Amino acid sequence: MSAKHRDLDSRLPPSMARKLKDVASDMSSMRVRGMSSRVYINEIVDAIHAGLLLAAMSLSLSLLELWIRDLLSLHLAAKSGAKTIHEFTATVAILERDIEGLEGRKASKYAEEDKSHPGRSKTDEHLRRLSFDAMCWELMELEVLDLDELSLLDHIYETIRNPIHHGITGRTVDPTGQNLSLFVGDMTRETVLIASIFGNAPNVRADRFEDYIYDTAPKLLKEIINFLIRHPLPDTEH
Query: What pTM does this model have?
Result: 0.75
* pLDDT tens-digit series, residues 31-65: 776 678 889 999 999 999 999 999 999 999 999 99
Residue 152's φ and ψ, nearest 5 degrees, are: -65, -45
CB of 118 closer than 8 Å to CB of 89: no
Where b means 16+ CB within 10 Å and e means fewer, 124-140 reads eeebeebebeebbebbe
The whole-number pLDDT of residue 219 equals 93
| DSSP E strands, 119-225 | none
CA–CA separation, 199 and 185 (whole Å): 13
Q: What is the mean predicted confidence (pLDDT) over 220-238?
A: 84
The whole-number pLDDT of residue 1 equals 44
